[in-house]
Amino acid sequence: MPPEPRISASPEEAVRRLRAAGCVFAEEEAGLLAGAAGSATELDAMIERRAAGLPLEHILGWADFCGLRIGVVTGVFVPRRRTEFLVRQAELLLGGTARDAGRRDAPAPAVVDLCCGSGAVGTALLARVGGIELHASDLDPAAVLCARSNIEPAGGHVHEGDLFEPLPARLRSRITVLVANAPYVPTAAIGTMPPEARLHEPRMSLDGGADGLDIQRRVIAAAPAWLARGGHVLIETSRGQARRTIGLMREAGLSARLAQDPELDATVAIGAVVIGTAA
Closer to ligand SAM at the Cβ: 94 or 215?
Answer: 215
* C-alpha–C-alpha distance, residues 46 and 50, integer Å: 6
* C-alpha–C-alpha distance, residues 210 and 33, integer Å: 38
CB of 60 to ligand SAM, least distance (A): 16
**Is-contact 271 232, C-beta < 8 A?**
yes
* C-alpha–C-alpha distance, residues 167 and 19, integer Å: 45
Closer to ligand SAM at the Cβ: 176 or 205?
Answer: 205
* C-alpha–C-alpha distance, residues 124 and 122, integer Å: 5
Closer to ligand SAM at the Cβ: 117 or 271?
Answer: 117
CB of 78 to ligand SAM, least distance (A): 7
CB of 187 to ligand SAM, least distance (A): 13
Closer to ligand SAM at the Cβ: 143 or 227?
Answer: 143
* C-alpha–C-alpha distance, residues 118 and 150, integer Å: 7
The site for ligand SAM (CB under 6 A) is made up of: 77, 79, 83, 115-118, 120-121, 138-140, 143, 162-163, 181-183, 204-205, 215
**Is-contact 161 183, C-beta < 8 A?**
no
CB of 61 to ligand SAM, least distance (A): 15
First-to-last alpha carbon distance for the chain, in angstroms, is 69
Q: Which residue is nearest to ligand SAM (CB)?
A: 117
CB of 138 to ligand SAM, least distance (A): 4
Closer to ligand SAM at the Cβ: 4 or 162?
Answer: 162
Which residues does 19 contact at the CB level (< 8 Å), separation at least 6? 26
